[in-house]
């Protein structure tokens, strides 16, 4: 790569490129069905297992479980918060 080509890369509007990519993926994700999302996730999992057969290791599984637990608790909290007081509660 010569100086002119390098200067061209440095002068690119990288923010515009990121915005175009973001818009593209927002549109793509809006078109996906839940089944397609699951299929893509499974393809990604298979790819990673092909590249890293040891994945996930026990530490990664523990981290994943902790993250899922926190997310589950947050979703339960949000569901309870948005639905108002539960029957029989003093609030």
* pLDDT on residue 33: 92
pTM over 0.85: no
Please enumerate in sequence order all residues whose Cβ is within 8 A of that of 80, keeping only pairs 6 or more positions apart, or say none: 86
Is 81:73 a contact under the CB 8 Å cutoff? no
Write the pLDDT tens digit of every residue in 45-79: 999 999 999 999 999 999 999 999 999 999 999 98
pLDDT number for residue 1 = 85
pLDDT of 65 reads 97
- Of 88 and 75, more confident: 75
């Amino acid at each position: 790569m010569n100086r002119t080509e390098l200067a061209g890369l440095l002068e690119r509007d990288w923010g515009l490129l990121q915005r175009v990519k973001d818009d593209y993926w927002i549109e793509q994700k809006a078109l996906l069905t839940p089944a397609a999302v699951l299929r893509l996730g499974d393809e990604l999992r298979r790819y990673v297992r092909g590249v890293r057969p040891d994945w996930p290791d026990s530490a990664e599984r523990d981290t994943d479980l902790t993250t899922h637990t926190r997310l589950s608790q947050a979703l339960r909290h949000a569901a309870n918060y948005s639905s108002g007081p539960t029957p029989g509660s003093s609030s």
